[in-house]
Amino acid sequence: MSEDIEKQEFNITVYTENQIGLLNRIAIIFTRRKINIDSLNTSPSEIERIHRFNIVINESEDVVRKLTRQIEKQVEVLKCYYHTNADVIWQEMALYKVSTDVIAEKVSVERLLRENGARVVVLRKDYTVFETTGHREETDNLISILQPYGLIEFVRSARVAIIKDSDGFNRKLREFERLEPGEDVIENEYLNQGQKVFTM
């Protein structure tokens, strides 16, 4: 299917007012179209009382563009952006629980940690908890390494992503406080892609 070929991971960043209710309002924009949300993280932003959602989905850019417009249309959404993985710095954190006995007996824990950028969070007689932070492949890699030693429990966090080219976002967001924000703030940024939108 040619559509699948165009699909890739997109990082959607949403700046919002208070979260109650909004989480659902944003989530249903995806679920209504039967689009799976691969990862969803909510957190405060650098500005007080503005929240930030990081959403990851695997879709074509055309679909993602339409989704972001629907998201930005929500009354309590200040701004919504989408970026490819190349446009962001992203990380996911994972925790792994293994039996201390098995691990102590069979592997060089130090090597394991060193090679996988992991660290020990808890070390008890009965079990040990490791943590790694990184890209999906890195956290996945440690699963496969630990699996033979009886991985008891695994969990991975949602993705957090910082936008590389985000100069001025902060200023823009603050401008929303004003009754009459400047033109560059109000306008939808897709308009700036004049050539793309305007093909004559």
Partner 1 sequence: METQTIVQEIGDIAEEAAKTPVVEVSGSVALLEALIVEGVDTIFGYPGGAIMPIYDALFDYNDKLNHILVRHEQGGIHAGQGYARTSGKCGVVFATSGPGATNLVTGLADAQIDSTPLVCITGQVFAHLLGTDAFQETDVINITTPVTKWNYQVTDANEIPEVIAKAFYIAKSGRPGPVLIDITKNAQIQLFNYKGYTKCNHIRSYRPKPIVRPQYIQEAAALINQAKKPFILWGQGVILGSAEQEFKAFVEKSGIPAAWTILGAGAIPTDHPLNVGMLGMHGNYGPNVLTNECDVLIAIGMRFDDRVTGRLDKYAKQAKVIHLDIDPAEIDKNVKSTVPVWGDCKETLPLLTALVEGKQHNEWLAKFNEYTRQEVEQVIEPELNPTTAEMTMGEVIKQLNEITKGEAVIVTDVGQHQMVACRYAKLNNTRSNVTSGGLGTMGFALPAAIGAKFGAQDRTVVAIIGDGGFQMTCQELGTIMQSGIDVKIIILNNRFLGMVRQWQELFNSRRYSFVDIQSPDFVALAAAYRIPGKVIDDRKDLPSALNEMLSNKGSFLLEVMVTKENNVFPMVPQGCSVSEIRLK
Residues near partner 1 (CB under 8 A) are 16-17, 21, 24-25, 28, 32, 65-66, 69-70, 72-73, 75-78, 176-177, 179, 183, 186-188, 190-191, 194, 197-200
Total residues belonging to the chain: 200
* 158: three-class secondary structure by DSSP: coil
CA distances from 25 to 28, 36, 52, 64, 147 (A): 6, 15, 14, 17, 38
* Closest separation in Å from C-beta 84 to partner 1: 20
Q: Which of 47, 129 has the CB closer to partner 1?
A: 47
**Alpha-carbon gap, residue 83 to 55, rounded angstroms:** 10
* Closest separation in Å from C-beta 18 to partner 1: 10
Q: Which of 52, 97 has the CB closer to partner 1?
A: 52
Q: Which of 32, 124 has the CB closer to partner 1?
A: 32
Cβ–Cβ < 8 Å for 72, 80: yes
State the number of CA atoms in the 13 A half-sphere of 47 facing the CB.
17
* Closest separation in Å from C-beta 115 to partner 1: 46
* Closest separation in Å from C-beta 22 to partner 1: 10
Q: Which of 4, 183 has the CB closer to partner 1?
A: 183
**Alpha-carbon gap, residue 182 to 171, rounded angstroms:** 11
**Alpha-carbon gap, residue 74 to 25, rounded angstroms:** 8
* Closest separation in Å from C-beta 72 to partner 1: 7
Q: Which of 165, 177 has the CB closer to partner 1?
A: 177
**Alpha-carbon gap, residue 89 to 160, rounded angstroms:** 8
